[in-house]
Structure 1
Amino acid sequence: MNSVVKAALCFSLLVIMSNVGSTAARFKSVDYEISGRVQGVCFRMYTEDQARKLGVVGWVRNTRRGTVDGQVQGKEELVESMKHWLSKVGSPSSRIHQAHFSNEKEINKLDFSNFTTRY
């Protein structure tokens, strides 16, 4: 293979690779606050477990207001599944009265590498 063909091949590969980056999957990020009977019922533990099963990242914590809040990030369909779980399912002993979601936005990269409980 001569040098002109090699250069053209390298250029073609660069173009293909740059297009792959521009069509890469976008992610979604959303903050949440869940109210009801969500403290003292292992809600954080079940939330962390569900997030890991779905493959989303972020965090969860108890608040002084008696609610649970956090942030979830991942592929859009997985974040939507987590939102459904947070608003309708929760831990077995929990009673969800309201799920408030805010700051929902598309992001280019994940800010977290896993899902954790914050204290």
Structure 2
Amino acid sequence: MYSEAEGQRLGLSGWVKNTRRGTVVGQVQGPPHLVNEMKVWLSEEGSPGSRISRAVFSNERDIANLETTGFTTRY
């Protein structure tokens, strides 16, 4: 819920999902400086009460056009 709100606040596109292992996975798209701001938020602040031990970002690439619209939480 908090990650979704942060993605929306930044005007990003994508999604987040909590896993059964207590981790979060997702996809974030938008201007690079805003994606980087989201990455910092995810790795340093996160949701209230969350305990962040590490953040791993993978499969990063440049895209010409957004592949999704809006920022949501998947269940």
The TM-score with structure 1 as length reference comes to 0.61
Match of 1:46 in 2: 2
Provide the residue aligned with 1:32 in structure 2: none
For structure 2, the 5+ residue unaligned runs are: none
Deviation at 1:64, TM superposition (A): 2.1
Match of 1:113 among 51, 69, 73: 69
> Which of structures 1 and 2 has the bigger CA Rg?
1
Using the size of structure 2 for normalisation, the TM-score is 0.95
RMSD: 0.7
Deviation at 1:63, TM superposition (A): 1.1
Look up the SS of the partner of 1:71 in the other structure. Answer: strand
Higher helix share: 1
The secondary structure found in structure 2 opposite 1:101 is coil
Same amino acid, percent of matched pairs: 60
Q: 1 or 2, which has the higher strand percentage?
A: 1
Instruction: Pick from 42, 48, 70 the counterpart of residue 26 of structure 2.
Output: 70
Equivalent-residue separation in structure 1 for 2:64 and 2:21 (angstroms): 32
- State the Cα distance separating 1:78 from its structure 2 match: 0.3
Q: How many residues align?
A: 75
Distance 1:86 1:100 in 2: 10
Q: Detail structure 1 runs of 4+ shifted over 2 Å in the superposition.
A: none
Pick the aligned partner of 2:13 from 57, 67, 87. 57
CA deviation profile, 1:66-97 (whole Å, cap 9, x unmatched):
21110100000000000000000101211111
Letter in 2 for 1:118: R
1:106, 1:65 → 2: CA distance? Answer: 29
Letter in 1 for 2:4: E
SS in 1 for 2:14: strand
